[in-house]
Amino acid sequence: MKEAIDSLLQKYHGQKDILKLVDKDYADMVHHSATYPNSLLHPTTKLHISRYVKHLAKQLNTRSSLNTSPEKLLETQQLWQSLTVGSETASVPVITMEPAIVNPPEPALSTPLTPDSIKTIVESILESQQQWHKPEQKRRQTKTCLACGQPKSRYETDGSSIHFFHQQGSVRYFYCSKKVFQSYAAEGLSNPKMQFEEFAGTEFFQRELEATKKRVEEKMQKKRKKTEYQYAGRLCRFCHMGLKQGPNSPHIHTGFPGVAGKYIYCPSKVYSLYRDKGMAKDMSWIEFQQSPY
């Protein structure tokens, strides 16, 4: 690493933005030395160069005037004494000037500060700060049942319907006697205020439970699809995958020797271009490098 950076520093010696030029060549050197670029982390060339430049500066500093060794300190003192020999000190009279009155002095407090008054002021400040930072406690509102119009609670009802929460595994079922009466009155359910224990013994309970499980599964599937296919970066217009380079990405970010700019290799794009010229399948980056294409 040191030999490579030394040769690049010597190559661009005296040019403007030398570190940027050295960093670019050093990054190309490290990147092209790998057979498969996706298996490497990005080369920390700026970190390498900054450490090496600090190392060179530290070596130069041992021979500079910033060296604080005893020998160097004695040499500096002798040089200072030789330069100040024969100098004369001239005395200059000092005149004291009064400050100009720009703003009149503030009048004294009419009431002197006492420990009791200070304590009162501090208590009032603390009380105002506590009231400012105290969060407002909002009463939790209970959701309303769409069937009977009552709150979804077994304790806040007017007696027109009976509510109950039943949980089986990850499935939570909300029972409303009026709702199930409206759903199954045509099939033989006659009591609009049936207790949950009685309803659990009927065939309608299993149907309600299966419908609730189906709704929960559909909701979870939609949530998984949303998290799987959510991608914030740019997409390739050929394979419709993310252009970001990574271990699970088919794209390779590289370049050609002597050609400015970055080249992004996409197997689908290359196959669409050379399919009529004999390419049989999508090639990986290593296969594409060994092919005549």
152-166: per-residue pLDDT in tens?
776 767 777 888 888
Q: DSSP secondary-structure letter at 263?
A: E
Rg over CA atoms, the chain: 41
Is 19 domain-assigned? yes
User: Is pLDDT above 60 for 2?
Assistant: yes
pLDDT average, residue stretch 85-102 = 60
Count Cβ neighbours within 10 Å for each residue of 65-84 and write b for 16 or more, e otherwise.
eeeeeeeeeeeeeeeeeeee
pLDDT average, residue stretch 186-208 = 87
Integer Cα distance of 232 and 229 in angstroms: 10
pLDDT average, residue stretch 10-27 = 83
CB of 35 within 8 A of CB of 286?
Answer: yes
User: Is pLDDT above 70 for 17?
Assistant: yes
pLDDT average, residue stretch 161-176 = 83
- Among 228, 252, 270, the domain-final residue is 228
pLDDT tier for residue 190 given thresholds of 50, 70 and 90: confident
Question: What is the count of structural domains for the chain?
Answer: 3
Is 138 domain-assigned? no
List the beta bridge partners of residue 204: none
Question: HEC states along 117-138?
Answer: HHHHHHHHHHHHHHHHHCCCCC
- Among 178, 209, 228, the domain-final residue is 228
Percent of the chain with pLDDT over 70: 68
8-12, 54-58, 117-121: segment of lowest average pLDDT = 54-58
Boundaries of domain holding 284: 233-293
pLDDT the model gives residue 34: 62
Q: What is the pTM of this model?
A: 0.32
Is 217 domain-assigned? yes
CB of 165 within 8 A of CB of 180?
Answer: no
pLDDT tier for residue 120 given thresholds of 50, 70 and 90: confident
Is 185 domain-assigned? yes
238 and 221 part of one domain: no
- CA angle at 253 for the pair 249 and 256, rounded to the nearest 5°: 145
pLDDT tier for residue 79 given thresholds of 50, 70 and 90: low
CA distances from 257 to 254, 262, 269 (A): 10, 11, 21
Is 44 domain-assigned? yes
Is 73 domain-assigned? no
Query: At a CB cut-off of 8 Å and minimum separation 6, what does 146 contact?
Result: 179
**Strongest mean pLDDT among 72-81, 136-145, 192-201:** 192-201
Element (H, E) at 178: helix 177-184
In Å, the largest CA–CA distance within the chain is: 124
203 and 242 part of one domain: no
204 and 223 part of one domain: yes
Residue with the bigger pLDDT between 245 and 40: it is: 245
Is 152 domain-assigned? no
Residue with the bigger pLDDT between 20 and 55: it is: 20
Pair of tokens at residue 198? 């009685």
pLDDT, tens digit (0-9, with 9 covering 90-100), for 44-76 = 566 666 677 677 667 666 555 555 566 767 776
- Among 212, 228, 244, the domain-final residue is 228
pLDDT the model gives residue 101: 65
Residue with the bigger pLDDT between 60 and 290: it is: 290
Integer Cα distance of 161 and 65 in angstroms: 93
pLDDT the model gives residue 69: 64
25-29, 103-107, 182-186, 195-199: segment of lowest average pLDDT = 103-107
Integer Cα distance of 216 and 209 in angstroms: 11
pLDDT, tens digit (0-9, with 9 covering 90-100), for 210-268 = 888 888 888 888 877 766 655 667 888 888 888 888 777 888 888 888 888 888 999 98
pLDDT the model gives residue 92: 55
Integer Cα distance of 170 and 182 in angstroms: 26
CA distances from 273 to 32, 93, 126, 158, 265 (A): 25, 92, 74, 73, 12
User: Is pLDDT above 70 for 282?
Assistant: yes
Integer Cα distance of 27 and 212 in angstroms: 58
271 and 237 part of one domain: yes
Is 195 domain-assigned? yes
Q: DSSP secondary-structure letter at 151?
A: B
